[in-house]
């Protein structure tokens, strides 16, 4: 693989018991690229994202992030599982944003953001809080530092969640339908933050139903169905003239 590739997946399979959810995914995302993933419900989009930071173990195939094999070490042609500590360290370099935010409800916004730097990277508490405040300012929440998640709107919560992931200085950000749980009028504020991030050169893999976002910001659009990548390419091309019938049918529904 080349040095400019941030994420690379080769023939990734994943089964839950007899259910084969991923059936051979190949994907390469270059550093600084924004890759948008679309596809019908149950096609395996979330599962694939979760495989990238080893929240799920792949059944077959390999994934590399920044040139490093995810979850395993290859020695003399044999795969060895990484220890918990090593897996945690790999994960700390991959930011993840969830559909349901998953903020820590017992911690204020600034504590949510500062938690992992203090806990995982052993950053001094005061420095971490100062950096957390900067990040919250960057996502437009400078006035909500000591507010608990329960008192924030969905859009604000999701922006805190993005700041929380950024606090670990990740090399790549994974977004799993970040705007699907939001009221329509709150979607824009979250997408704006993500556009900012993309402009700053963050490598991003975004599962989304926001075709407009994919067209505007995406460098690569991937259409997944039934555990395989059916079609991928320049977002404008794929959206304007999809090659496969399944892609056409799906786009007709969401556009």
Partner 1 sequence: MTAEKVAERVRPEPIRAVPVRHPGRWVAVAVLAVLVAMFAHLLATNDAFKWSFMVDNMFRPPVVEGVRGTLVMTVAAMIFGVVFGVVVAIMRLSTNPILKSIAWVYTWFFRAIPRLVLLAAFGNLGILWSRLELGVPFDTEIGKLFGIADVQLRFWGISTRDLLVGFVVGLLGLGLSEAAYMAEIVRAGIQSVDPGQAEASAALGMNRGQILRRIVLPQAMRVIIPPTGNETIAMLKDTSLLIYVPVTAELFFRLDGIGKRTFLPFPMYVAATLWYLFLTSILLVGQFYLERYFSRGYGQGQRATMRLRGLRAEQGGLRPDPGGAP
Q: What minimum distance in Å lies between the beta carbon of 40 and ligand ATP? A: 7
Q: What minimum distance in Å lies between the beta carbon of 27 and ligand ATP? A: 15
Of residues 2 through 61, those in contact with partner 1 by CB under 8 A are: 53, 55
Cα–Cα distance measured from residue 95 to residue 88, given in angstroms and rounded to the nearest whole number: 12
Q: Which helix (H) or strand (E) element contains residue 174?
A: strand 172-176
- The site partner of 169 among Mg ion, partner 1, ligand ATP, none (C-beta below 5 to 8 Å per kind) is none
Q: What minimum distance in Å lies between the beta carbon of 21 and Mg ion? A: 11
Nearer to ligand ATP, 49 or 141 (CB): 49
Nearer to Mg ion, 46 or 247 (CB): 46
Residue 45 lies near ligand ATP (rule: CB under 6 A): yes
36 Cβ neighbours under 8 A, 6+ residues apart:
206, 207, 208, 213, 214, 217, 218, 220, 221, 222, 235
Nearer to partner 1, 69 or 168 (CB): 168
DSSP 10-39: EEEEEEETTEEEEEEEEEEEETT-EEEEE-
Q: How far is residue 142 from each of residues 43, 110, 147, 193, measured CA to CA in Å?
A: 38, 10, 11, 14
Of residues 24 through 43, those in contact with ligand ATP by CB under 6 A are: 39, 41-43
Tokens standing for 17? 């018991």
Tokens standing for 228? 């395989």
Residue 71 lies near partner 1 (rule: CB under 8 A): no
Of these, 1, 2, 77, 84, which contacts partner 1 (CB under 8 A)? Answer: 84
Of these, 33, 43, 46, 53, which contacts Mg ion (CB under 5 A)? Answer: 46
Residue 125 lies near partner 1 (rule: CB under 8 A): no
Tokens standing for 96? 């993840």
Footprint of ligand ATP on this chain (CB under 6 A)?
A: 16, 19, 21, 39, 41-47
């Amino acid at each position: 693989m080349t040095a400019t590739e941030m994420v690379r997946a080769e023939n990734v399979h994943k089964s839950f018991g007899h259910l084969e959810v991923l059936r051979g995914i190949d994907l390469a995302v270059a550093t600084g690229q924004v890759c948008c993933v679309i596809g019908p419900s149950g096609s395996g989009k979330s599962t694939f994202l979760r495989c990238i930071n080893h929240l799920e173990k792949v059944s077959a195939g390999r994934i590399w992030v920044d040139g490093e094999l995810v979850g395993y070490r290859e020695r003399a042609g044999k795969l060895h599982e990484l220890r918990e500590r090593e897996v945690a360290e790999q994960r700390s370099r991959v930011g993840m944003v969830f559909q349901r935010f998953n903020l820590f409800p017992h911690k204020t916004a600034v504590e949510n953001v500062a938690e992992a730097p203090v806990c995982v990277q052993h950053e001094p508490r005061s420095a971490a809080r100062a950096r957390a405040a900067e990040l919250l300012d960057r996502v437009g929440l400078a006035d909500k530092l000591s507010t608990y998640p329960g008192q924030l709107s969905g859009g604000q919560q999701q922006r805190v969640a993005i700041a929380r992931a950024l606090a670990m200085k990740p090399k790549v950000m994974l977004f799993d339908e970040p705007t699907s749980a939001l009221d329509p009028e709150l979607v824009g504020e979250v997408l704006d933050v993500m556009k900012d991030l993309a402009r700053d050169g963050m490598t991003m893999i975004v599962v989304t139903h926001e075709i407009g976002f994919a067209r505007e910001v995406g460098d690569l659009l991937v259409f997944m169905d039934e555990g395989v990548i059916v079609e991928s390419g320049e977002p404008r091309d794929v959206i304007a003239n999809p090659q496969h019938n399944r892609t056409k049918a799906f786009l007709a529904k969401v556009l």
